[in-house]
Structure 1
Amino acid sequence: MTLSSETVVVTGASTGIGAATARELARRGLHVLAGVRRDRDADALRGDRIEPVILDITEPDHIAALTARIDSPLRALVNNAAVQTNAPVEALPLDEWRRLFEVNLFGHIAVTQALLPALLRHAGRVINISSVGGRVAMPTYGPYAGTKFALEAVSDSLRRELAPLGVPVVVIEPGAIRTDMASRVVAATNQAAAAMSPEHRDRYGNLIRAINAQSAAHTPNGVSAADAAQVIATAVTARRPRTRYTIGRDAALITRLSRLLPDRLLDRMLTASLRPHYRQSAAAGR
């Protein structure tokens, strides 16, 4: 079967990695159903072999409409949609925890359940976009990393369930990526910080500012969305894909260290990496 006769679904394709992946897969000859949230995002993405579909993965009606739209062999489902807010475990309201899990975990499970019959019919594959935060949880990353750790666990279980049925399950673990998501995360983090109690701001304010400063320093050196899309497209098209791919040197290094180092040593290394950003954020505040 040729790639031109097959379809790939990419969720969260409005911008960033999702949009770049949709374009790269289309360039390779696949028909892409690209999930977007708004009509203007659809207009910006629509092109040869790219068919935008309005898709909120937490809405059952949207998922049903997507499932009904598939009329050619389904090569892959790329579960990419995600939201992120960085906040201390103590200070983030439970409703916001639930929102992150609804999108970053339960939404992916819902889409996967709906599309698995089509994937099983044509020996397709599931590609779950996790994060280096699915292997190592930095301070204030607990809510987001919690969703990604859970996605990694679900992916492991699903891989072992589907391997005998001929459906590979692949996890992609990006590190820093140069996309607009970094600025959106900082904005969401600042919004969460503004809603904290004075006691929480006193306890965690300096930490949050240091995390934001660290993100601002590292993101410009990250991998481009187009380069990240190349890795994801390889996972979609390879005859025998690996079970995991990291994207970026930072992701490869951190995941390796997480396997080799004792917890307390890794904790000290992560604390040391934040120290310059405490100073940077303090200087910016003067």
Structure 2
Amino acid sequence: MVIVTGASTGIGAATARELARRGFHVLAGVRRDRDAEAIRGPGIEPLLIDITIPEHVRTLATRVDQDPQRRQLRAVVNNAGMGVNVPVEAFPMDEWRKLFEVNLFGHVGVTQAVLPALIRSKGRVINISSVGGKVAMATYGPYAATKFALEAVSDALRRELAATGVQVVVVEPGAVSTEMPSRAVAAANDLAAAMTPEQQLRYGGLVRAVNAQTVSHTTSCLSADAAAMVIAKAVTASRPRTRYTVGREAALIRLTRFMPDRTLDRALAAALRPHYRAGDRADPST
């Protein structure tokens, strides 16, 4: 048995189907009835779960402990999440807290709730991070902050559980063809519209350029099915790596290992420059 949160669409849905194809019984966490009906199929049992609601998390743990077939929990895939591209200054504090509740605290809560079952089965925790968990690009500060934190939690948890036989694996996707990038662009536009005139002057061109870059990347990125294959490997490999990368943006992670910060700053700025509109300035101070 495997739990996959955030299984309504994208990587989560593709992962649920791939694991079911491989013979696992998948508890697929979704938030709406229509998503439950869409994902339901052989080997896939949809559960209505909002990982930020403690009662839902407790219900999930009870479902695992009281499985009628007495199946062991092989893994939990912490995939639920939301994306947003917005400058640090312009992101309201209540939105910061909401983002951390979904992208970090919810995963910690799910992991805590099912960890006794995973310890009994010597199972696995698979945390879906991001290239943004290693590289914080402009306007990705809030999102990257949640993923950097998830990486840290994963490292600590891996070391804490080493003696129990439970393995902790991080999967770091780059651009993947899902609904998340388009939702992130829409959210960025809404937040940009609410910026003050001074913030618009500082960041308006930057936000538009990042959104254009995001759209351009999604036209040539990997499919959700390709990402699901990597996650399934993390679940099933006899000796899984501590981290798996997905997509061409994984090269950014390698760059951070040896490239000085200022050099990386210039490289990222150069990659973004072609996406600025005519009239927008890459450096509003000039």
On whether the aligned pair clears a TM of 0.5, the verdict is yes
Alignment of 1:232-247 (within 5 A): 232-247=231-246
Partners of 2:205 and 2:277 within 8 A in 1: no
Determine helix, strand or coil for the equivalent of 1:74: coil
Determine helix, strand or coil for the equivalent of 2:208: helix
1:263, 1:202 → 2: CA distance?
A: 26
In structure 2, which of residues 253, 256, 275 is the aligned counterpart of residue 255 of structure 1? 253
* Residue of structure 1 equivalent to 2:124: 125
Deviation digits for residues 53-84 of structure 1, max 9, x if unmatched? 00000001111111111122000000000011
Query: How far is the alpha carbon of 1:264 from its aligned partner?
Result: 0.4
Partners of 2:136 and 2:144 within 8 A in 1: yes
Using structure 1 for the length normalisation, give the TM-score.
0.95
Determine helix, strand or coil for the equivalent of 1:138: coil
Deviation digits for residues 149-173 of structure 1, max 9, x if unmatched? 0000000000000111100000000
Deviation digits for residues 101-141 of structure 1, max 9, x if unmatched? 00000000000000000000000000000000000000000
- The letter of the residue matching 1:14 is S
Determine helix, strand or coil for the equivalent of 1:34: strand
* Residue of structure 2 equivalent to 1:10: 4
Using structure 2 for the length normalisation, give the TM-score.
0.95
Deviation digits for residues 238-257 of structure 1, max 9, x if unmatched? 11110000001222x11000
2:174, 2:279 → 1: CA distance?
A: 22
Partners of 2:2 and 2:75 within 8 A in 1: yes
Task: Give RMSD over aligned pairs.
Answer: 1.0
* Residue of structure 2 equivalent to 1:272: 270
Partners of 1:235 and 1:242 within 8 A in 2: yes
Gaps of 5+ in 1: 1-6
Alignment of 1:1-286 (within 5 A): 7-70=1-64, 71=67, 72-251=71-250, 253-279=251-277
- The letter of the residue matching 2:106 is G
2:276, 2:253 → 1: CA distance?
A: 24
Query: How far is the alpha carbon of 1:280 from its aligned partner?
Result: 6.7
2:31, 2:182 → 1: CA distance?
A: 19
Deviation digits for residues 250-277 of structure 1, max 9, x if unmatched? 22x1100011100000000000001000
- The letter of the residue matching 1:258 is T
2:259, 2:181 → 1: CA distance?
A: 28
Deviates more, 1:199-208 or 1:142-151: 199-208
Determine helix, strand or coil for the equivalent of 1:25: helix
- Between the two proteins, the alignment pairs up a number of residues equal to 275
Partners of 1:81 and 1:104 within 8 A in 2: yes
- The letter of the residue matching 1:32 is V
- The letter of the residue matching 1:188 is A
1:78, 1:220 → 2: CA distance?
A: 26
Q: Which runs of 4+ in 1 moved over 4 A?
A: none
Deviation digits for residues 85-114 of structure 1, max 9, x if unmatched? 111111111000001100000000000000
